[in-house]
Amino acid sequence: MAVDIRAGASAEDVRTAIAPIWRYFGLAPTEQAVENFTELITPARCLIVCEEGAPVAGCGAFPLELTTPGGRVACAGLTMVGVHPAHRRRGLLTRMMRRFIDDTHARGEPVAYLWASEEKIYGRFGFGLTSLSGDVEISRDHGAFLAADGARGRVRLVSLAEALGPARAIYDAVAAVRPGMFARSGEWQRRRVLADLSWQRAGGGELTFALLELDGAPAAYALYRFNQKMTRGVSTGSVVVVEAMAVSPAATRAIWRYLIDLDWYATLKASFLPQDHPLILMAQEPRRLNLTFRDGCWLRLVDVGAALAGRAYGPDETVLELADDFCPWNAGRWRVAAGGVAHTQAQPDIRCDVAALACVYLGGFSWRDLVAAGRAVARDEAALARADRTFERRGAPWVPEIF
């Protein structure tokens, strides 16, 4: 059958592009969703796959600026990837990913980023797991911290309309130095982070914005909602933390102390926490956090040279021999050092494919991790140690929201 892939040109094309994945949500795209994606992605960054003239698959890509260890890089945030249920297993996804990666390369965006609906899908297109994402479920009776609480500061409840300014300032300060995070525009904050749509509540309460001030200056915020339930007059409900950001360790402790000390709930739930979130070591009873991890975001290096040049390195240098069947322009040997990144004919220290390189690119995993897992081969122990010193890590990658 004849298959055609085209970019969108209108809001109606956005609706068409995201409709296949919405079938798996059990409904058609809402008007609010179409408006949000039209504003934040723009129609031209959507792809529509048609078979015999009928739309059967689609996706979109947010224009993001991604924080790397010591730098930033332009990024395509792949989203809403879907194939009509009646057209699966026909190679449509592979053809759509071919077009998406080629378009991303042509736009000069060195990397692509996504949350995988099914983790086994995207490795064959060169995506690698960048980090783990943590969930906690804390009983209110077991939320004590190990050390003294320190400064509590002042917490004010602020309307969502008034929250935009402080939310942007605090988030920007965190995202500037934490790998894996990306810059948020005011429209992104308003339409995605501070929106409180009925489907987002999932039967719970309204979204609350708590602003923490230390020494009179905004230092942290928490977005949360009560999902209240009562049994014989006793709360069995939960506080769901949508997002909590803080500009300092003192502010981190203070905002989480505020959340845990809220009244009238049984459990506090939070998701999308990085592997090294301070809460893990702050807790007096870490077992009571009920901490679980799953795969976080996946990353694809579309232009390896530009992507590697978009982050910082330690004092050593490393030569990588890279395989990339899907994007052969990336294959070959690369010398990576603080002084620059370039092709080379030197003997490689590490051999791997592009998906393995993605795993270490943001610092979520080390080369030693990859070698132990059989995902990379090191020339010897000295080369492996040198590679990890070259690809210095600056905190676990953190993506605090699904996009």
- 326: domain CATH number is 3.30.1050.10
Do 147 and 246 reside in the same domain of the chain? yes
Distance CA 360, CA 117 (A): 22
Question: Does residue 124 lie in a domain region?
Answer: no
Q: Are 193 and 324 part of one and the same domain? A: no
Residue 122 maps to a domain: no
Active centre residues (catalytic):
122, 403
Classify residue 299: in a domain, yes or no. no
Residue 301 lies in a domain: no
Whether 400 is in a domain gets the answer: no
Residue 377 pLDDT? 98
Which is it for the CA torsion 325, 327, 328, 334, positive or negative?
Answer: negative
> Do both 337 and 275 map to the same domain?
no
The predicted structure's pLDDT at residue 72: 98
Instruction: List, in sequence order, every residue forming a beta bridge with 383; answer none if it has no partner.
Output: none
pLDDT (0 to 100) of residue 197: 81
| Residue 158 and residue 289 share a domain | yes
pLDDT of 202? 81
Q: Is there a contact between 61 and 78 (Cβ–Cβ < 8 Å)?
A: yes
Based on the structure, what is the number of domains in the chain?
3
Question: CB-based contacts of 173: which residues, under 8 Å, 6+ apart?
Answer: 247
- 94 and 180 share a domain? no
- Is residue 214 one of the residues assigned to a domain? yes
The residue with tokens 């009646």 is: 86
Contact 332, 322 (CB under 8 A): yes
How many other C-beta atoms lie within 10 A of the C-beta of residue 195?
13
Task: Judge if 181 and 273 occupy the same domain.
Answer: yes
Same domain, 45 and 139: no
Nearest to residue 58, comparing CAs of 120, 108, 7? Answer: 7
| DSSP type of residue 328 | G
403 assigned to some structural domain:
no
- Do 48 and 21 reside in the same domain of the chain? yes
123 inside domain: no
In whole angstroms, what is the distance from residue 101 CA to residue 95 CA? 10
Q: Is residue 275 located within the same domain as residue 173?
A: yes
> For the chain (length 403 residues), average pLDDT per consecutive 10?
92 94 87 92 96 94 98 98 91 97 98 95 96 97 86 92 97 98 96 88 91 96 95 93 97 97 96 97 96 98 98 97 98 97 97 98 98 98 98 97 96
Q: Which of 270, 293, 316 is the last residue of a domain?
A: 293
Instruction: Classify strands 46-51 and 3-7 as parallel, antiparallel or unpaired.
Output: antiparallel
- DSSP SS3 for 2: coil
Position 11, amino acid: A
Residue 27: its pLDDT value, please?
Answer: 82
| Closest listed residue to residue 78, CA positions, set 272, 262, 297, 345 | 297
- CATH code where residue 204 lies: 3.40.630.30
Could you say which of 265, 293, 321 is where a domain stops?
A: 293
The number of helix segments (H) and strand segments (E) in the chain equals 12, 21
Distance linking the first and last C-alpha atoms of the chain: 32
- For residue 382, with 0-12 CB atoms within 10 Å meaning exposed, 13-18 middle and 19 or more buried, which class applies? exposed
Question: Where does a domain end: 228, 262, 293?
Answer: 293
Beta strands in 98-237 (DSSP E): 111-114, 128-129, 132-139, 154-158, 208-214, 217-227, 230-231, 234-235
Cβ count near 189 (within 10 Å): 17
Q: pTM for the complete prediction?
A: 0.94
Residues 155 and 235 in one domain: yes
State how far the alpha carbon of 159 is from the alpha carbons of 101, 194, 212, 253, in Å: 40, 10, 14, 23
Q: Which of 227, 193, 186, 399 is nearest to 299 (CA)?
A: 399
Residues 288 and 189 reside in one and the same domain = yes
Angle at 358 between CA 354 and CA 361, to 5 degrees: 130
Statement to judge: residues 84 and 187 lie in one domain: no
C-alpha–C-alpha distance, residues 161 and 98, integer Å: 41
Domain span at residue 329 reads 308-390
Q: Which pLDDT does position 294 carry in this prediction?
A: 97
